Amino acid sequence: MSMSVVNDTPYEAAEILRSAKPNFHPRIALILGSGLGALADRMENKTTLSYQQLPGFPVSTVIGHAGEVVMGTLVMTPTY
């Protein structure tokens, strides 16, 4: 059984992320919710992309949610 992606949107978003921070290989990914944005603020060597820049990503409608992907280093670990 083979699986296929209906469209290229996930691949387009992945390529934008890769090109925004070449040679970056994250070891973990964190999804931060309400009240946890300060953790993203502690990341070093960071690159930030708004969800609006990424095909298929929803626009955040919650007040206080940044609606962005942050790529950088957190406690010496490459992190999304």
Domain ranges of the chain: 9-79
CA dist 20 and 69 (Å) reads 11
Whole-model pTM: value is 0.82
Q: Which residues pair with 72 in a beta bridge?
A: 79
Higher-scoring residue by pLDDT: 65, 46: 46
Look at residue 17 and tell me whether its pLDDT is greater than 70: yes
Closest CA to 58 of 20, 13, 2: 13
Look at residue 6 and tell me whether its pLDDT is greater than 80: no
Distances in Å between the alpha carbon of 9 and those of 12, 44, 56, 60, 69?
5, 29, 6, 18, 16
pLDDT tens digits along 24-37 = 999 999 998 888 88
Q: Length of the chain, please?
A: 80
CA dist 47 and 28 (Å) reads 16
